[in-house]
């Protein structure tokens, strides 16, 4: 019953209001963008007004989402006050980036997420720790009385697939696979989506893999692996920031590694740190110590300093 209450509040709000701002998280990934686009299409189906927004670019591999849903950047958001703002896959207020003000200025605020570290910053918060926010949104769309057509199915499939490492993480349950099967039945174009998301790679994206691997080192008898990418690496390889998203897997997949650390330089003397663990380490706790969050086996935070300093600090903490 406790879980039903937030679901009911969210459904009531989505049915009752008519003018929505849907917000994805900073450094957007497939789960946040796919889930947002799916909810956008479902609200449109019910004849509502909705605007989707994100602080950051839609990665090339997810460009098909742009055909379904325009993602506004914070500076072109046409108005500041919406009847209802919905944050999707956003664990805390800093993850809204420059959309924080527009979100908080809205008359009503909803949070739909699956991160156990979610700070419940909305008026109503539906935090359901499924493998992806896509599955939470799928349940919402059903309860709203919208139909999962082929476009919504493509969005949700992209969300579920990307947040589960294409269905291999320990977060994958029987329900996750049943949901994926249902999306296939609703028209998700799996071969096309898989090619776009996982195989089609630019030259720059290919070269940056080499840079990442070159920077790899092991610590604590091979229990910790760290790698890093600087802005200069990205520039020299002709890569984009989004091309570095899966580099951490090369650290995580080394036999014997428990904690993988990836330091990705941002502007202004800061860097984004991604963390992964294989079996027993709780990297969500680790990330929280540095002001971030996430899941037990996948988490992240932003730190200040040079890439070297940030990397040393993270390795030291992990050891
Ligand atoms: P990634 O390393 O792929 O960016 O993120 C891994 C997981 O950690 C994701 O679930 C993501 O939402 C979460 N995460 C990454 N960076 C941050 C952060 O700065 N703050 C919080 N709260 N979560 C983060
Ligand atoms: Mn997610």
Residue to mutate (ligand 1; options 54, 160, 298; most atoms within 8 A of CB): 298
Would you say the CB of residue 96 lies under 6 angstroms from ligand 1?
A: no
Q: Is the pLDDT of residue 2 over 60?
A: no
Residues that place a CB less than 5 A from ion ligand 2: 31, 89, 133, 163
Would you say the CB of residue 298 lies under 6 angstroms from ligand 1?
A: yes
Atom of ligand 1 nearest to the CA of 163: 10
Distances (CA, A) of 265 to 180, 223, 232, 241: 35, 24, 9, 9
Considering every ligand atom shown, identify the ligand nearest to the alpha carbon of residue 283 and give its number.
1
Q: Is the pLDDT of residue 3 over 70?
A: no
Contact 236, 250 (CB under 8 A): no
162 CA to middle of ligand 2, Å? 9
Q: Which positions ≥6 away from 134 have C-beta within 8 Å?
A: 31, 34, 35, 38, 155, 156, 157, 158, 159, 160, 163
Q: Is the pLDDT of residue 274 over 60?
A: yes
pLDDT given for residue 215 in this prediction: 97
Q: Whose CA is nearest to atom 14 of ligand 1?
A: 300
Atom of ligand 1 nearest to the CA of 91: 22
Atom of ligand 1 nearest to the CA of 275: 2
274 CA to middle of ligand 1, Å? 7
pLDDT given for residue 81 in this prediction: 85
Question: What are the tens digits of pLDDT across the range 171-209?
Answer: 999 999 999 999 999 999 999 999 999 989 999 999 999
200 CA to middle of ligand 2, Å? 22
7 CA to middle of ligand 1, Å? 24
Q: Is the pLDDT of residue 4 over 70?
A: no
Q: Which positions ≥6 away from 12 have C-beta within 8 Å?
A: none
Contact 239, 219 (CB under 8 A): no
Question: What are the tens digits of pLDDT across the range 214-243?
Answer: 999 999 999 999 999 999 999 999 999 999
252 CA to middle of ligand 2, Å? 19
Would you say the CB of residue 295 lies under 6 angstroms from ligand 1?
A: yes
Provide the pLDDT confidence category of residue 79 given band limits of 50, 70 and 90: confident
The pLDDT > 90 percentage for the chain reads 94
pLDDT given for residue 80 in this prediction: 72
Q: Is the pLDDT of residue 69 over 60?
A: yes
Over residues 253-282, mean pLDDT: 97
Provide the pLDDT confidence category of residue 77 given band limits of 50, 70 and 90: confident
Q: Is the pLDDT of residue 1 over 70?
A: no
21 CA to middle of ligand 1, Å? 22
111 CA to middle of ligand 2, Å? 13
Would you say the CB of residue 95 lies under 6 angstroms from ligand 1?
A: yes
Tokens of 124: 């109503």
Question: What are the tens digits of pLDDT across the range 93-141?
Answer: 999 999 999 999 999 999 999 999 999 999 999 999 999 999 999 999 9
CA atoms in the 13 A half-sphere facing the CB of 217:
10
Separation of alpha carbons 31 and 306, rounded Å:
30
């Amino acid at each position: 019953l406790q879980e039903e209450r937030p679901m009911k509040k969210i459904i009531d709000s989505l049915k009752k209001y008519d003018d929505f701002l849907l917000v994805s998280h900073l450094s957007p990934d497939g789960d946040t963008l796919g889930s947002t686009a799916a909810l956008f299409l479902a609200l449109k189906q019910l004849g509502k007004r909705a605007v989707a927004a994100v602080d950051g670019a839609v990665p090339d591999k997810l460009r098909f989402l742009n055909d379904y849903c325009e993602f506004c950047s914070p500076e072109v958001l046409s108005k500041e006050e919406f009847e209802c703002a919905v944050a999707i896959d956003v664990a805390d207020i800093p993850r809204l980036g420059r959309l924080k003000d527009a979100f908080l200025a809205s008359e009503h605020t909803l949070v739909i997420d699956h991160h156990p570290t979610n700070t419940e910053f909305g008026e109503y918060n539906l935090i359901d720790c499924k493998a992806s926010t896509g599955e939470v949104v799928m349940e919402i769309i059903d309860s709203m009385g919208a139909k999962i057509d082929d476009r919504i199915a493509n969005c949700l499939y992209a969300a579920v697939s990307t947040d589960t490492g294409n269905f291999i993480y320990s977060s994958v349950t029987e329900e996750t696979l049943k949901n994926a099967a249902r999306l296939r039945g609703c028209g998700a174009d799996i071969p096309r989506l898989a090619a776009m998301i996982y195989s089609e790679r630019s030259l720059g994206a290919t070269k940056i893999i080499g840079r990442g691997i070159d920077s790899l080192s092991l610590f604590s008898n091979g229990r910790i692996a760290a790698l890093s990418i600087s802005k200069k690496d990205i520039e020299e390889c002709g890569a984009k920031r989004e091309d570095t998203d899966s580099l951490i897997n090369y650290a995580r997949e080394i036999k014997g590694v428990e904690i993988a650390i990836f330091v990705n330089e941002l502007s202004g003397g800061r860097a984004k740190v991604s963390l992964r663990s294989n079996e027993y380490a709780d990297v969500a706790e680790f990330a929280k110590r540095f002001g971030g969050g996430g899941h037990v086996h996948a988490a992240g935070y932003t730190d200040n300093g040079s890439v070297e300093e940030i990397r040393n600090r993270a390795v030291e903490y992990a050891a």
